[in-house]
Structure 1
Amino acid sequence: MRKLIEQLMKFGIVGVVAFIIDWGILNALVWGLHMHNVLAGTVSFLISLVFNYLASMKYVFKHREDMARWMEILIFFAAAAIGLFINDAILWISTYGMNHDAYVSQSTQYVLRTNAGKLVATAVVMIWNFVIRKWLLDDTHTNAMNRLKGKSNRLTTDQLDAKWERSFSHRLGLWSLAHTPKGWK
C-alpha cells in the first residue's frame, strides 16, 4: 500500500507540472491569440503530453522487462488519444450554447467557462490515465513479488505468478517482445 501511495504522489507531482504547462498554454492561446477553446485545448494538451510521457516513464512507472518499449509508447499515446478526446469533449461542452459573438470577442465568461471545463477535464483524464497506465504499463508483478520476499507463504507466490501469467497485460507484453523488429529495444 505504501508503494501505491508513493506512486500516486509521484503521479500527482508529474500531473501538476503537466497541468501547469497545459493550463498556461491553453490560456495564452485563448486570451492572447483568441483561439477557439477546443483547438487551444488540443494544442496545449499535446504539448503537455510530451512532458507527461517523459516524466511518467522516468519517475512514476517502472519499465517492464516483459514489454517492448514500442508497445509502452503505443499504449501511452493510444490512452492519451482517448484522454484528448475526453479533454476536448469537456471543453466543447463547457462553452456549448454561447453565441458566436462570445467566441469572437473572447469574453470573460467564455474564458471562465473554458477554465472550469479544463479543471473538470483534467480530473477525469487524470483518473483515466492513472488507471490505464497502472493496468497496462506498470510492473505490478515485480512490485508484488518484492513485497512477498522473505515471507514463508510459498502458495501465495505461486498464485501470484499464475495470476500474472494469465493477465492481459503480461500476455500483451510478451506479444510485443515477440513482434519487435530486429535491432529495436
Structure 2
Amino acid sequence: MVLYNEAKYTPSPHYDARPDDKDVSLLVIHNISLPPSQFGTPGIRQLFTGTLNPDDHPFYKEIDGLRVSAHCVIYRTGEIEQFVPFEQRAWHAGVSTFQGRSRCNDYAIGIELEGTDTLPFTEAQYKALGELTDFITQHYPRITLGRIVGHNDIAPGRKTDPGVAFDWARYRMRVIGLKYSD
C-alpha cells in the first residue's frame, strides 16, 4: 500500500482497483470546500468517507449519495489527509480525457486543495503540495511536469478547478526539477 508518511490516513470506501497499477502517469489538482466557501469543517472528510449527513447543511442535500474520493486533501493549514492509497483508483476525475485518452481515474492521482476557484490558496498549502508532488513523482516517474494538470484541463466546460486563484507559475517553479517531457 503506497501511502504518504506525512499524511493522516483515513480510508475511503469510494475507490477500486486500477486496471493497471503500473500505469499511474497523471496528477490532477482540484479544489473543494464543504459547505461551499467554508473552510475547516468536517464536510470534506465526511464526503470522502461516505458519512456526510444531508441534514447538516442545505447544500449537503444536493450531493447526498455522491460517491467520490481523492487520493489526498491538503487543508488550508497545510495538513494532508490521504483517503486512497496511490496504487488504487480514487473517484475524483469523473468524465475526463487527457491527450485523447479517456477515463483519467484509471491512471491519475487526484489531489484536492481545500479552497475555491477564486480565493487564494495558503502558503502552507503550496509548501505541502510541493512536498507531496515530490513524493508522488519519485514513486511514479511517468508523472512529469507536462502531466500535472487541473481538473479543468481534463474536463473542460464541466469543471473549473483548481480555478483562477491557483498560482500555476508558483507551483511549477516548485516542481521545475521534474523532467519535462510530452
Q: TM-score, normalised by structure 1?
A: 0.22
Which of the pair has more CA radius of gyration? 1
Structure with more of its chain in helix, by fraction: 1
Q: TM-score, normalised by structure 2?
A: 0.22
